[in-house]
């Protein structure tokens, strides 16, 4: 396969897998050899084994970090601080994309950024939906309330009142009633404690709420 042929096939794909290129009379060994050459020359970015993106200036679509996260670990969803920052429920910019998965925890350091995946039990993998992103892309993303509960669940001591205050949560976006309902659905004592403290925090003066 020549590079121009690759461009014709994947020009409209933000990221692509090797399987997309194997249709028809294609030599798999030769294709992998070519992908290795294009990666070394900087024309193609390898995100993980079998998953790639075109490098600029050859790509037409800039891959959204959340789409990349979903494709790195199929079945995962973006959560924690990443989803909270996207919803503007916390004021800080978050460089690393954090996701919840049913697989083993791992971190990818790629040319498109750093992606971490944290394992949560199957019964806690709910409260997310597909969200439309830029340039026709979409990704699975936790709701703000579930993203906060995932963050608390995954971090030791995150149900502490001081930790919750330091997040500078915006309670115009986060709904205490929804947090309560989700915490009850999770049935995790730590999350139930956190939901009670978050309700108290939401009633405090504006200095504790993100501006």
| H/E segment holding residue 54 | strand 51-54
Q: What is the CATH number of the domain that holds 153?
A: 3.30.460
Instruction: Measure the CA–CA gap between 71 and 85, rounded to whole angstroms.
Output: 21
Residues 131 and 71 in one domain: yes
pLDDT value of position 210: 42
Q: Can you give the pTM of this predicted structure?
A: 0.93
Tokens of 93: 């910019």
For residue 60, is it within any domain? no
Residues 110 and 89 in one domain: yes
Beta strands across the sheet bearing 128-132:
106-110, 113-119, 97-101, 77-78, 138-142, 128-132
DSSP annotation of 152 reads H
Q: Kindly tell me if the per-residue pLDDT of 176 is higher than 50.
A: yes
Residues 44 and 69 in one domain: no
Given CA atoms 146, 130, 100, 61 in this order, what sign does their dihedral have?
negative
Residues 95 and 14 in one domain: no
Instruction: Measure the CA–CA gap between 132 and 138, rounded to whole angstroms.
Output: 4
For residue 59, is it within any domain? no
Q: Kindly tell me if the per-residue pLDDT of 93 is higher than 90.
A: no
Boundaries of domain holding 137: 65-208
- Contact status, residue 135 vs residue 14, Cβ threshold 8 Å: yes
Tell me the mean pLDDT in the region 111-120: 98
Given CA atoms 13, 86, 174, 125 in this order, what sign does their dihedral have?
positive
User: For the segment 37-77, what is each residue's pLDDT rounded down to a tens digit?
Assistant: 999 999 999 999 999 999 999 999 999 999 999 999 999 99
Instruction: Measure the CA–CA gap between 180 and 128, rounded to whole angstroms.
Output: 16
Beta strands across the sheet bearing 16-17:
16-17, 51-54, 44-48
Domain count, the chain: 2
Residues 21 and 81 in one domain: no
Q: Which of 54, 77, 93 is the last residue of a domain?
A: 54
Query: Which residue has tokens 């806690």?
Result: 124
Tell me the mean pLDDT in the region 18-34: 88
pLDDT band of 206, cuts 50, 70, 90: low
What average pLDDT does the structure give for the chain? 94
Residues 122 and 28 in one domain: no
Backbone angles phi, psi at 176, to 5 degrees: -55, -35
Residues 15 and 106 in one domain: no
For residue 121, is it within any domain? yes
What's the half-sphere exposure (Cβ side, CA atoms, 13 Å) at 101? 20
């Amino acid at each position: 396969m020549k590079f121009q042929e690759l461009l014709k096939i994947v020009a409209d794909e933000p990221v692509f897998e090797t399987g997309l290129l194997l249709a028809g009379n294609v030599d798999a060994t030769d294709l992998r050899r070519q992908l290795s050459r294009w990666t070394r020359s900087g024309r193609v970015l390898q995100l993980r084994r079998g998953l790639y993106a075109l490098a600029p200036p050859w790509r037409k679509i800039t891959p959204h970090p959340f789409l990349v996260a979903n494709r790195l670990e199929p079945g995962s969803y973006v959560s924690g601080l990443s989803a909270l920052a996207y919803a503007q429920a916390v004021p800080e910019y978050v460089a690393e994309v954090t996701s919840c998965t049913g697989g083993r925890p791992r971190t990818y350091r790629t040319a498109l950024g750093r992606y971490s995946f944290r394992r949560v039990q199957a019964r806690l993998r709910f409260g997310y939906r597909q969200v439309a992103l830029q340039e026709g892309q979409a990704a699975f993303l936790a709701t703000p309330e579930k993203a906060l509960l995932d963050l608390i669940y995954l971090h030791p001591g995150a149900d502490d009142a001081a930790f919750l205050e330091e997040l500078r949560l915006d309670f115009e976006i986060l709904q205490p009633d929804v947090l309560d309902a989700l915490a009850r659905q999770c049935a995790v004592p730590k999350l139930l404690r956190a939901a009670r403290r978050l309700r108290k925090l939401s009633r405090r003066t504006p200095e504790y709420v993100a501006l």
